[in-house]
Amino acid sequence: MSASKKTAWAVAAAVLLPLVVAAPAAHADEGKDAKDKQPKPPANMSAVGGAALGRPGTQVQLGAGAPVLPKELSARSWIVADAESGQVLASHNAHWRLAPASTLKMLFADTVLPKLPKTQNHLVTNQDLAGMGSGSSLVGLKEKQTYSVHDLWLGVFLRSGNDAVHVLSAMNGGIPQTVKDMNARAAELQALDTYVVSPDGYDAPRQVSSAYDLTLIARSGMQNADFREYAATPRAAFPGEQKPGKKRETFEIQNTNRLLTGDLGVAPYQGIAGVKNGNTTHAGSTFTGVAERGGKVLLVTVMNPSSKEQHAVYKETARLLDWGFAAAGKVTPVGELVPPTSARTDAGTGSGTGSGTGSGASAGTGSGAGTGGSDGGSEPAPGKNAPDGSAAASAASEEKSGGVGIALSVAGGALLLLAGAVFLVNRRWPLAGSGSRRRRSQAPLDPDVNP
């Protein structure tokens, strides 16, 4: 090789080699930049339920023999709580005020369901269905058709139907009255991170909740037998259009809760008994679930996972439930679910303050993607309900996925209370600051569109 060619090769190598070596660093910088762009939780959040719950990051106090938290957690906020004692076993940004999507329908049901008899019928009008957001999840209500209140609640819980929410709101005195009632109910439950603008959970400016609040709301709702039944129903027949001279046909609707019904890539969770899922442009995916195993009942809420994993919100919920059942009795609680202000305990009226136990350890892991609220009063950008487009697959065992032989199940459309005492303990709200669980005798042998 001539001297000139050797010189040319040397120059080329000198230019290209640094670029090749630097390439991985460039990718690393891009990953760091993406992580830096993730929203950060407020430095100071609500301390309802305990001071540790108001701190950013992961709060957990592992004891001897306790399993470590799952690594595959990407949610912006989550919480694991004992539904009976109210003890919070672990949390991550529990009081971060975020857009809730259709998990807010739990508050809607907890507020309105007790007011309307299930057998009451309602003729749907055009005005009832007015004002729904573009892209809303629907059960398929038709104008000039009559539906029972029972039918409408099936539409809310199973199909996350915003049309059903609007009709029930009309029966409750209208949207403004229902929003007012929901905000009042949230205040009574001490769900103080929550502010309702739209009763169906459709993205709206200033509409927020938190993993802590949604768990409080679910715990309250699950004390209502009808709420439990609807939340645990995997599928049901829904009235179609009534045509003159013909028998009214029905069509099947399936619950959008994938841990209840299962879907491609996600199996029904053994012992699941509800409660509600959601998905909107701004909120991302949200979910609150309750499950029972070995006599222990846990509540888990997961908000806005950033993982690209299919059905991430359900898989992260399942991981947290598995961890919670394995960790029960081996961790120091980092806080508690406070009782409603109106709740009466053995010592009188609940104090309404709540003093968490344990300081927790801030691990600062698992920030999700997107934008969201802040503790100081966030304003989620308007968006629309965004169906994920996947069709719900039939579970291998339809009714058994609801927790047959465990906590709650659905058999032939009827709620079967297999462990009747499981949720009754919730009626005896624990004293604020109580660090011990009261024992009680067991009774003998309860397309993700929004949404």
Residues annotated as catalytic (active site), given as ranges: 102, 105, 160
Interatomic CA distance for residues 323 and 317, integer angstroms: 10
d(CA 445, CA 425) in angstroms, rounded, equals 16
Cis (ω within 30 of 0) for the bond into 275?
Answer: yes
Q: How many CB atoms lie within 10 A of CB 225?
A: 12
- The CB density around residue 364, as the number of other CB atoms within 10 Å, is 14
Written in H, E and C, the secondary structure of the chain is CCHHHHHHHHHHHHHHHHHHHHHHHHHHHHHHHHHHCCCCCCCCCCCCCCHHHHCCCEECCECCCCCCCCCCCCEEEEEEEECCCCEEEEEECCCCCECCHHHHHHHHHHHHHHHCCCCCEEECCCCCCCCCCCCCCCCCCCCCCEEEHHHHHHHHHCCCCHHHHHHHHHHCCCHHHHHHHHHHHHHHCCCCCCECCCCCCCCCCCCEECHHHHHHHHHHHCCCHHHHHHHCCCEEEEECCCCCCCCCCEEEEECCCHHHHCECCECCCCCEEEEEEEEECCCEEEEEEEEEECCEEEEEEEEEECCCCCCHHHHHHHHHHHHHHHHCCCECCCEECCCCCCCEECCEECCCCCCCCCCCCCCCCCCCCCCCCCCCCCCCCCCCECCCCCCCCCCCCCHHHHCCCCCEEEECCEEEECCCCCCHHHHCCCCCCCCCCCCCCCCCCCCCCCC
Q: The tokens of 394 are what?
A: 């039939």
Rg (CA), the chain: 24
